[in-house]
Amino acid sequence: MVITVDRERCASSGQCALAAPEVFTQDEEDGRVVLLDENATGPEVRRAITGCPTQAIRST
Ligand code: SF4
């Protein structure tokens, strides 16, 4: 599984960073998502993907 994030879609809600803080964080300037580990897996990652309000996170 490879995770990708679309920063253009990101609404800076921070849900992903709360759900999986070792995989996602937020840019200090604009609050948009920053992906820390594109190969991460597990229930936290699933929660982050399904919890994103703008569907900005995908896994392939
Ligand atoms: S949950 Fe979605 S909208 Fe919120 S910060 Fe993460 S990627 Fe952006």
Query: What average pLDDT is seen over the chain?
Result: 97
Residue range 25-46, pLDDT digits in tens:
999 999 999 999 999 999 999 9
Can you list the alpha helix ranges (DSSP code H) found in the chain? 15-19, 43-51
**Residue 54: Cβ within 10 Å count:** 14
For residue 1, the model assigns a pLDDT of: 84
Expressed in angstroms and rounded, the spacing between residue 43 Cα and the centre of ligand 1 is 17
Length of the chain: 60
Q: Give the mutation target among 6, 7, 8, 13 for probing the ligand 1 site: most ligand atoms within 8 A of CB.
A: 13
pLDDT exceeds cutoff 90 at 19: yes
Consecutive H or E run containing 38: none
Q: What is the pTM of this model?
A: 0.96
The binding-site residues of ligand 1, defined as CB within 6 angstroms of any ligand atom, are 5, 10-16, 24, 26, 33, 52-54, 56-57
| Beta-ladder partners of 39 | none
